[in-house]
Structure 1
Amino acid sequence: MTEQASLVEYGSRRWIVTLTAIVCALLEIVDTTIVNVALNDMKGNLGVTLSEIGWVVTAYAIGNVIVVPMTSWLSQQFGRRNYYAASVVIFTICSFLCGNATTMWEMILFRFLQGIGGGALLVTSQTIITEVWPPEKRGIAQAIYGLGVIIGPTLGPPLGGYIVENYSWPYIFYINIPIGIIAAALTLQFIRSPKYAEKKKASEVDWLGIIFLILAVGSLQYVLEHGQQDDWFNDRTILVLTVVSAITAYFFIWRELTCKNPIVELRVLKNQTLAVGTALSFILGFGLYGSTFVIPIYLQNSLGWNAQQAGMIMIPAALMTAFMMPIIGQLLQRGVRPQLIAATGMFLFFIYSLWGYKILTPNTGEDAFFWMLMLRGLALSMLFIPITTLSLSGLKGQQIGQGAAFTGMMRQLGGSFGIALITTFMSRQTAAHRNDLLTNITPDNPLLVQKLNGLQQNFMAHGLSPEQAKASALKLIDLSITGQSTVLTYMDVFLYIGILFLVCVPFILLIRTGKSKVDMSEAMH
């Protein structure tokens, strides 16, 4: 506690350190979703499919997920300030490289490395913000961090939309460069490192755990991304990587449970509330990042909105979340059970998803989205802090830090898996809906004949020959079928995400916790 107290800052220095950490955390979080509204432009420039361009998002998330559980150890090995500054530099350099990428493989590599740098920013920023504030004001520190985690993914699309519409997609990466340079300079000047225990020798490092973690997560992510387009287990690569992922996941769990200095402390999951909270964090990440991924694509592909319009519509929801987060914090401080707040948030997210399912059409108006997205902002504000509090409520001392790392990792992993599963699901479901709709395209369908004749007459009135008019009419009907099948797929995505959240409600209400409050400042250690 003495060492922790010695890191408290006062006056302007505290605010400079806090601002630096917030900026770094937001850089990392915003970059998770800022590319979503630029995917169409990037897809065209790089000459790839929708499923392939999803790797721009997931490669970054994989880098995050791999490095988050290792951050504590890396900070101890190199000193927190040095490791934090190095992470900012790696993130900034890779931002420049992403903007200059000319092939999909270059983009995947640089986004992965950017995610490696960014993962440290997310976790370490929480630690720094907490430690520079005195214990009696750490509730403010947690509110600041919580706002960034929830609002960051929502701010990505509007910022990305503005940049893509007014400049070009590489600038969504270039914007990080001046901010990163300033953040690195401020880090080296103002952020201090705590005194750590003796560094681990190379022979004591859990290298096997690191290797197993990378192989398990990376292989599984590839299978999720490419399984649909490569015909799943009929493809040799998919089959091999599925086996690799399963085997390395097994050995990773075995290694972490038996190793003296594990890279990830799995034993803490014996606590039931943490195990349930970790699963809820995964689902929260799935819904948060998954819905933020799918909405801009629907608005651009089906409704023809530009990138800026698709991004700006998310701002009111972000403001709603910002407004509600302090209120939720106050409710928890006054003794309202986190189970009730989290369950309500899950149910409201289900209502939001069902609302989306009901209003999506090939020509839904802009006004239809406002209150739906406001409800999304309200629901998310009721999930982050209660789920974190709930997860850690049965832990004490150092276990709280290990549990906090788990919930953070699983939230990122949930987002990564969510995006991969959604892109795969959309590819399969769009084809299925198209095949269903094509069964109605028969010569004895009076509605089709009437529609076809009307379109043909219209094209002939504009000077086309009967043959040309008929071909144009058939092409227009085919485009209409494609558009309808795509919208039906978006509807399915909303419905199934909603059902996932609804199923969680009774499980949250059944969780029993002790009466003791969690000191969130302990979650950093």
Structure 2
Amino acid sequence: MVQADDLVEYGHRRVIITITAVLCALLEIVDTTIVNVALTNMRGSLGATLNDVAWVITAYAIANVIVIPMTSWLSQQFGRRNYFVVSIILFTTASFLCGNASTIWELIIFRFIQGLGGGALLVTAQTIITESYPAEKRGMAQAIYGMGVIVGPTLGPPLGGYIVDNFSWPYIFYINIPIGIIAAVLAFSFVRSPKYGEKLKAHQVDWWGIFLLSAFIGSLQYVLEHGQQDDWFNDTTILILSIVSVFGLLFFIWRELTYEHPIVNLSVLKDGNLHIGIVMCFILGFGLYGSTLIIPIYTQAILGWTATDAGLLLIPGSITTAFMMPIIGKMIQKGIPQGYMVAVGFLIFFFFTFLMYSRMTPDTGVEHLFWPLILRGIGLGLLFVPITTLSLSTLKGRSIGEGAAFTGMMRQLGGSFGIAIITTYISRFSQEHRVNLLTHLDPTKTNVQQRIAMLQRGFISKGYSSNEALNKAYQILDYSVMKQSTVMAYMDVFMYLGILFLCCIPIILLIKKGKNKIDPAEAMH
């Protein structure tokens, strides 16, 4: 073990540590988005429903949310290098198991394990890369790390799309294996651990805190995912887990505030701006991960696009976000209030959702989606770093790191909520619109009869009997109704997302002006 001041590296060691840290951050971030374009293929090969396959993303996010607030504590207990290397190995092994999964629930379990390993990578990689550079060069270190963070979400969808179209979906997990092995070897050989002081003994560990945090988040997520299909509180399991979630949260808060060695320091939440910031981070995660889920599914399931095309569609918006980040950083350094940027960001996100609402049809083309997604990229640029820096603006010293962990956790938790609620409402709204459309589809009307007759004649000309052709005609009509009702459900979801973002703008009036400036790089958790 070495002191933190002695962790600065020079020459080839620093280069190798930088590459290792960025590789690990990329592994974690790419895997949050790479599966989005493969969901349709997973559903087909594993025989899963939309609600079930959404757990592939959600399980990973839940594990991240549980581990992120515990990362600092775990590093102290096991040594940063050991914890980092074990996390890489766990992530890599779980990636192999994900690729070999034969059922949807096997895949979900292995994704959860992968998330437990991945949750440590992003946070620990940032700490390692920062401490490897001398103080005067840490701005450059954070810029390198930040670009890795920005490139990750951009690489995920197109890379996933290319792999799915040219190979098969398990290979989106297999590509992690060689990178993970190299990263583990390099991390073990070059990363050093600071001296943390005396470790806690087994009986001092906050086992109840770990248990209560896991019970609260796990139960809550199950309720969100299965509430709709299991008829909410009329189902005994949903009711029991809802109670477990509520009491798990209450007892977790009590435990962390009263235990001598808490696994998560909740006292930092007394800060007013952090209160507001974590709410906005939650909403940002809701919109960010929610819209990232909707768009690939919509383009593949409704428009019939390939996975590669669905992934490539997201690149211009992601590049726009990457382009915006250094500009936003300079604006913050010049003293432009982050609150104004956040307000504009929420307004732009509202316009993005409004455009998506107005342009979604069963025949929408890439030209209709290009500019809305550019707007989304600008909105994300104006929200991501300013919200996090705002959250930390009135914190000092050690509290800044603890506050950053909460913003990262709430962003992930918001994503879990967003995915669960959006998939539930797409299913519910689709059924509602289907019923409404069918009530207006009167078989006695001339235009409906003409449409059925035309379809019937088309099938008769292909060699079907009259009855077979009529059945086929009704099937085509039913498919058209289902397709239209699903599109209308997506439109509804975008409308409600837009209203949510619009309602967030007045929150900035509650922000207090911070006395200390926070480097935007510190906020990129």
Assess same fold via TM > 0.5.
yes
Contact map agreement 1:34 1:159 (CA 8 A) in 2: yes
- Provide the secondary structure at the position in 2 that maps to 1:382: helix
Q: % of aligned pairs identical? A: 63
Do the aligned partners of 2:300 and 2:307 also contact (CA within 8 Å) in 1? yes
Contact 1:41-1:169 within 8 A present in 2 as well:
yes
Distance, in Å, in 1 between the alignment partners of 2:199 and 2:524 is 19
Q: Secondary structure, in 3 states, of the residue corresponding to 2:288? A: helix
Return the alpha-carbon distance in structure 1 between the equivalents of residues 23 and 264 of structure 2: 27
Cα separation, partners in 2 of 1:143 and 1:380, compared to 1, 3 Å: farther
Distance 1:447 1:37 in 2: 38
Q: Which residue of 2 aligns with 1:244?
A: 244
User: 1:328, 1:38 → 2: CA distance?
Assistant: 33
Structure 1 residues 69-468: aligned runs within 5 Å: 69-468=69-468
Q: CA deviation at 1:519?
A: 5.0
Please give the per-residue CA displacement for 1:297-323, whole angstroms capped at 9, x wherever unaligned. Answer: 000000001111111111112211121
Q: For residues 84 and 31 of structure 1, what CA distance do their matches in structure 2 show?
A: 18
Residues 520/110 of structure 1: CA separation in 2 closer, same or farther (3 Å cut): same
Q: Is the 8 A contact 2:17 2:129 kept in 1?
A: yes
Alignment CA distance shift 1:150-1:490 (3 Å): farther
| Number of residue pairs matched by the alignment | 524
Unaligned runs of 5+ in 1: none
- For 2:363 and 2:226, locate their aligned partners in 1 and report how far apart those are by CA, in whole Å: 31
- Structure 1 residue 502, shift from structure 2 partner: 1.5
Match of 2:6 in 1: 6
C-alpha separation between the residues in 1 aligned to 2:23 and 2:452?
57
Q: Deviations over 1:229-279 (max 9, x none)?
A: 112122211111111111111111111111121111112111110011011
* Correspondence for 2:57: 57
Structure 1 residue ranges, 4+ long, deviating more than 6 angstroms after superposition: 520-525
- Residue type at the aligned position of 1:261: H
Asked whether the 8 Å contact 1:150–1:380 carries over to 2, the reply is no
Local SS of the residue matching 2:396:
coil
Q: How far 1:292 moved relative to its partner?
A: 0.9
State the AA in 2 paired with 1:284: L
Contact 2:359/2:368 (8 A) holds in 1 = yes
Q: Which stretch has the larger CA shift, 114-123 or 250-259? A: 250-259
How many Å apart are 1:460 and its aligned residue? 3.8
CA RMSD of aligned residues (A): 1.9
Q: Give, as a single letter, the amino acid of the residue that structure 2 aligns with 1:86.
A: V
SS of residue matched to 1:197: coil
| 2-structure distance, mates of 1:463, 1:113 | 53
For 1:401, give the aligned amino acid. Answer: G
* Structure 2 contact 56–107 (Cα < 8 Å) conserved: yes
Residue type of the alignment partner of 2:272: Q
1:479-505 superposed Cα distances (whole Å, 9 cap, x missing partner): 000000111111112121222112111
Q: Report the secondary structure of 1:361's partner residue.
A: coil
How do 1:497-512 residues align onto structure 2 when only pairs under 5 Å count?
497-512=497-512
Tell me by how many angstroms 1:48 deviates: 1.5
Which residue identity is paired with 2:35?
V
For each residue in 1:25-83, what CA deviation from the matched residue of structure 2 results, as whole angstroms up to 9, or x when unmatched?
A: 11011111111111111112211111111111111111111111111111001100110
**Quick one: distance in 2 between partners of 1:447 and 1:363?**
22
Q: Shift of the alpha carbon at 1:462?
A: 4.2
Q: TM-score, normalised by structure 2?
A: 0.96
Deviates more, 1:182-191 or 1:8-17: 8-17
Q: Which amino acid in 1 is paired with 2:91?
A: F
Aligned residue for 1:42?
42
Q: Deviations over 1:150-194 (max 9, x none)?
A: 442342111110000010011000000000000001101121111
Partners of 2:163 and 2:172 within 8 A in 1: yes
**Which whole-Å CA distance do the structure 1 matches of 2:511 and 2:174 have between them?**
45
Deviation of 1:144 (Å): 3.6
- Aligned residues of 2:460 and 2:469 also touching (Cα < 8 A): yes
Taking the aligned partners of 1:521 and 1:200, their CA distance within structure 2 comes to 32
- Please list the CA deviations of residues 417-449 of structure 1 after superposition, one character each: whole Å capped at 9, or x if unmatched: 111111111111111111111111223434323
Provide TM-score, normalisation by structure 1. Answer: 0.96
- For 1:378-430, what per-residue CA distance to the aligned partner results, in whole angstroms no more than 9, with x for missing partners? 11112121111100001111111110110011111111111111111111111
**Partner secondary structure for residue 54 of structure 1:** helix
Q: Contact 1:43 / 1:53 at 8 angstroms: preserved in 2?
A: yes
Does structure 2 conserve the Cα–Cα contact (< 8 Å) formed by 1:401 and 1:524?
no
Q: Which amino acid aligns with 1:19?
A: I
In structure 1, what is the equivalent of residue 491 of structure 2?
A: 491
Does the Cα contact within 8 Å between 1:354 and 1:495 map onto a contact in 2?
A: yes
Partner Cα distance (2:272, 2:57) in 1:
32
Q: Residues 316 and 374 of structure 1 are in contact (CA less than 8 Å); yes or no, is this contact kept in structure 2? A: yes
Cα distance between partner residues in 1 of 2:441 and 2:64: 47
Quote the Cα distance in structure 2 between the aligned partners of 1:272 and 1:450.
65
**Are the equivalent residues in 2 in contact too, given 1:130–1:521 (CA < 8 A)?**
no
Classify the secondary structure of the residue corresponding to 1:91: helix
Q: Is the 8 A contact 1:287 1:418 kept in 2?
A: yes
Q: Is the 8 A contact 1:25 1:121 kept in 2?
A: yes
CA contact (8 A) 1:430 1:486 kept: yes
Do 2:388 and 2:524's aligned partners in 1 also have CA atoms closer than 8 Å?
A: no
